[in-house]
Every structure is written in C-alpha cells, then in structure tokens.
Amino acid sequence: MRHLIDILDFSVEELQELIDTANDIIAFPEKYSERCHGKKLATLFFEPSTRTRLSFEAAMYELGGQVLGFSEAQSSSAAKGESVADTAKVISCYADIIAMRHPKEGAPLVAAMNASIPVINAGDGGHNHPTQTLADLLTIYREKGGFEHLTVGFCGDLKFGRTVHSLIEALSRYEGIKVVLISPEELKLPSYIKKDVLREKNIPYLQTTDLEAVMPELDILYMTRVQRERFFNEEDYLRLKDSYILTPDKLQNAKPDLSILHPLPRVNEISVAIDQDPRACYFKQVLYGKYMRMALILKLLKEAGRL
C-alpha cells in the first residue's frame, strides 16, 4: 500500500507526475469532476486546521467524491483513549483514503502501518507536512518553470515549522539548489535536517539572522509564522513572534522576479501591503494546494486499486 508520510516517499519523477496532473486539472477541471464518484475521504484532524482540512475536502468534492471525518480530537474516540492504530483500522472500514493531522510526530506513520487504505500525512507536530510541500512545489514550478539553480530563503520559525522541513527535503533532490536559513538564534533549523539533508546532499547553505542582507540573492522567499503552539512558554513566544516582518521597504533590494511564499496562516510576518505586490504568491499557493491534493488522491487511490 502506498502512503504519503514523508515527501521523500515519492521520487522526483512521481512529484513531476503530480505536477503534470495538477496542471491538467487546472486546464480541464470538467475531465476530473466525476473521477472519485462513490469514493470517500476521511479527514482525521487531531489538531486545528483551516486550509489543509478544507483543501482536502474541496479536493475530494471537486473529484466527485465524498468526505467524512472530524476536526478536533475532542469529538473523536481519542478523547476516550483510543489509539491511533485502532482508529486507523476502524476508519479503513468506512473510507477509501485517510488524511490525518496529529500533534504527535510519527502518528500518521503509525496510522499507515495499521490501515488497509492509503494514509496521507496532513501535518505531524513540528515534523513534516508533505502536502503543503506539494502546494509549494506547484507554486515554484508555475512561477519559475522548474526547480533547478534556485536560491531559496526560509525565514522565521525554522525549528518548529514543519512545512520548512518538508520543503527543504523535497528541494534537496534538484540540481543547483542553494538554501539560505534566516531565523533568530533560538529558532534555527534542527541540526538533524542540516546533517541528514543539507550536508548529506552537499547543498550549499548559509545561516543568518539578517533578512535584508541576503534579500538580493533570493529567487524564492519562504516566510513562516512563529509556531506559538509548539513553545514551552508564552514569554519566549512573545519575545520572538515579531522577529521578522516583511514590509515593502525590505523588498527594495529584492530581485524583480522574486517569489514570496507562505504556507499561511499569516500572523504578522508579512505586511498586508505586500499582498498587492506581483511577487506575492501565497494566495495562489492556497489554490495550487487544492489541485495538488486532487492529483495526490487520484494517484493513491489508483495505486491502491480503488479507482
């Protein structure tokens, strides 16, 4: 059974296939509107979400399928003490595919090991978020025409930002990628990712606290929110939350074809004045996320012999 737990579960060729399918869906949506007729997606969300859950739901509806699930742990049997493994076995009797978000790192992997249907990791704690990466990849592909020879800046909470971890993993497989890591000292990228991904794959990277100094180098600027819910104390959060606020003046030395991405939700880190700038891609990114989830659902259901 194929699942999507980590973005590296898919080869570069498979990611390209998903991008091609998503582009085809964008061009010819009517071709896809009944592809999942009679199929059910279960959205098991043990942690808050707006975009990811609704994006999965919209994706399944636009494929002609149906959706069931819950959006908080309190309304599921987890509140009675049911294990993730048991929940996965139970849901396998009701649905054709599962999208799971969980505050514990590794929970979707446990679900995958116990389910008899495909499981998609829709975010596990501060670890990974591979379907946000699918949205990010389609955005980069449509903006830049490919992934090679790009300098990508990641700014904000690189420690707890799971979308950053998954996107760095994904980009590490393309030729000529350079990574610039911009964060406060306390929110630096975890050293296991620097070691296992960046150094392992010989990807040149730079760590800095100074966004403006590196701005002229960047082809992509990936802004992130400081992840309040993963902090141990509120004081640290309050001290760090406004470390970076992207305002129009900070873009003065940026490339004219810079692409600004953000997985959203935005708190303070991008001023709304930037929304008018043609380099702002974060709302397109939301839309692309839905198309990539459609492509992903189709791929996993086909491979499971359910389509």
Sheet of 220-223: strand order equals: 205-208, 178-182, 151-155, 220-223, 259-261
40, 127, 129, 293: the active-site residue:
129
Residue 52 interacting with ligand NCD (CB under 6 A): yes
- Amino acid letter at 224? T
Using the rule CB under 6 A, give the single segment among 34-42, 78-86, 112-120, 259-267 that binds ligand NCD: 259-267
Instruction: Pick one of 3, 127, 225, 290: the residue that binds ligand NCD (CB under 6 A).
Output: 225
Residue (43 or 132) nearer to ligand NCD, CB = 132
- Within 265-294, which residues bind ligand NCD (CB under 6 A)? 265
Vertex 22 angle, CA 16 and 24, to 5°:
105
Nearer to ligand NCD, 32 or 282 (CB): 282
Q: How far is the CB of 305 from ligand NCD (least distance, A)?
A: 29
| Cα(293)–Cα(299) distance, integer angstroms | 10
If you ran DSSP here, which 8-state letter would residue 243 be given?
Answer: S
Q: Rule CB under 6 A: say whether 44 interacts with ligand NCD.
A: no
CA angle 132, 135, 138 (to 5 degrees): 150
Residue of 17, 51, 236, 193 lying closest to 132 (CA atoms): 51
151 has catalytic annotation: no
199 catalytic per annotation: no
Q: Which stretch binds ligand NCD (CB under 6 A): 14-22, 180-188, 261-269, 272-280?
A: 261-269
Smallest separation, CB 71 to ligand NCD (Å) = 13
Taking the complex as a whole, the smallest distance from the CB of residue 65 to ligand NCD amounts, in Å, to 21
Q: How far is the CB of 242 from ligand NCD (least distance, A)?
A: 15
- Minimum distance between the CB of residue 227 and ligand NCD, rounded to whole angstroms? 6
Please choose, from the candidates 128, 134, 140, the residue with its C-alpha nearest in 3D space to the C-alpha of residue 166. 128
Cβ closest to ligand NCD, residue 71 vs residue 163: 163
Neighbours of 137 (CB within 10 A): 22
Nearest to 54 by CA among 77, 71, 38, 72: 71
CA-nearest of 235, 181, 219 to 203 is 181
Of 53, 101, 159, 241, which residue is the catalytic one?
101
Q: Min. distance of Cβ 199 from ligand NCD in angstroms?
A: 25
Q: Contact at 8 Å (CB) between 101 and 46? A: yes
Told to judge if 37 belongs to the known catalytic residues of this protein, a careful annotator would answer no
Among 24, 89, 38, smallest CA distance to 307 is for 38
Regarding 121 and contact with ligand NCD (CB under 6 A), the answer is: no
Residue 115 interacting with ligand NCD (CB under 6 A)? no
From residue 17, give the alpha-carbon distance in Å to each of 107, 128, 294.
Answer: 27, 21, 12
Residues that bind ligand NCD in the complex, under the rule CB under 6 A: 51-52, 123, 129, 132, 162-163, 225, 263-265
Active-site amino acid positions: 51-52, 80, 101, 129
